[in-house]
Amino acid sequence: MATSKVLGDDDLLGEILIRLDSPTSLVRAALVSKRWLRHASHRDFLRRFCGLRPPRLLGFFVTGDWVPRPDSVFDAFPEFSSYVWDCRNGRVLFDFSETVFGIRRFGVSDPLRYPDRGVTEFPPPPPPMGPHAMLLPDDEHDDASCYRVDIDTRGRRRVSAQVSVLRSGAWTVLSAWTKLDRPPDRIPKLTLLAGGKLYMVAVAGYIICMDLAAASLFVVEYPEGVAYEYYGNLVLCRGDNSVLYLFHVKGDRLSVWLRRMDEHGAEWVLRDTVPSL
């Protein structure tokens, strides 16, 4: 009787579930009943649960010459013939070919949850064949399989973007362009998809943004004192509630900036500065 009273109290049940030691245990608890599942899958509860247990490293992939590869889905292809574009929620998006110089094909694999399924190959994307970025959707409610981004800066003071979206086995294309106050110099492959927007870092000191719903481009300047110096010293990261984070390394310091992208006229805010040594 005492047990049923405890487990019948929603507040106490929540406190019991929050004390489980791992996401695996939480999944098992959610299978007990619909009521437990409702508690375990509530967004506020999951945010609190994940905040108490930082994500564990499940694996990594290294691209480079003379790097040995562990047993994986990539073993089906010759050495150096596969390239990882994105990974999210256990899925890996990559391109591959039957030979090192063969035609590039694109596919996705879920080696953690479905190791025996192999590769789900995508239909050939629209031209051109050399994408700037290939991205998995960032929203669990997004029914797209893949986003392909192509950038053209040959006009120097003008940038155009073509985004091909794969849904239900078919590609649709979005296009946009905008004028620039100064040439981008170079746009490294540091593209981020977050909250229905694409963010592309330009070496010249700004971020090129594309609103996918409006099919429009706009520019956001770096925070004051931030500069692109080398690949990796400046990285964008998605946050909750339309917040864009920018991580910047300069000398022996790491600066963390944030900006709300759903507010017109929002400014960068310095969130934290951490010594890197």
pLDDT tens by residue, 159-212: 999 999 999 999 999 999 999 999 988 999 889 999 899 999 999 999 999 999
If one compares 167 and 119, the residue with the highest pLDDT of the two is 167
Residue 62 clears pLDDT 60, i.e. is over it:
no
The confidence score (pLDDT) of residue 66 equals: 45
Average pLDDT value for residue range 58-85: 57
The confidence score (pLDDT) of residue 61 equals: 57
Asked whether 166 and 149 are in contact (CB, 8 A), the reply is no
pTM for the full model?
Answer: 0.72
The confidence score (pLDDT) of residue 100 equals: 61
Q: Mean pLDDT lowest for which of 122-131, 176-185, 215-224, 237-246?
A: 122-131
If one compares 9 and 272, the residue with the highest pLDDT of the two is 272
Residue 275 pLDDT class (50, 70, 90 cuts): confident
If one compares 75 and 171, the residue with the highest pLDDT of the two is 171
Spatial neighbors of 83 by CB under 8 A, at least 6 apart, are 63, 94, 95, 96
Asked whether 204 and 229 are in contact (CB, 8 A), the reply is no
Residue 222 pLDDT class (50, 70, 90 cuts): very high
> Mean pLDDT, the chain, as a whole number?
83
Residue 65 clears pLDDT 50, i.e. is over it:
no
If one compares 34 and 172, the residue with the highest pLDDT of the two is 172
| pLDDT tens-digit map of 80-101 | 567 889 988 778 898 887 666 6
The conformational region for residue 169 under phi > 0 = left, psi -120 to 50 = alpha, else beta, is: left
DSSP output for 195-207: TTEEEEEETTTEE
| Whole-Å CA distances, 74 to 35, 78, 88, 153 | 41, 8, 17, 33
Q: What percentage of the chain has pLDDT greater than the value 90?
A: 38
If one compares 93 and 79, the residue with the highest pLDDT of the two is 93
If one compares 259 and 92, the residue with the highest pLDDT of the two is 259
Q: Mean pLDDT lowest for which of 81-95, 99-113, 218-232, 238-252?
A: 99-113
Average pLDDT value for residue range 230-256: 90
The confidence score (pLDDT) of residue 1 equals: 47
The confidence score (pLDDT) of residue 179 equals: 92
Question: 49: which strand partners?
Answer: none
3-state secondary structure of 192: strand
Residue 139 clears pLDDT 90, i.e. is over it:
no
Q: Mean pLDDT lowest for which of 23-37, 101-115, 254-268?
A: 101-115
The confidence score (pLDDT) of residue 95 equals: 85
Side-chain-side CA neighbours of 203 within 13 Å: the count stands at 11
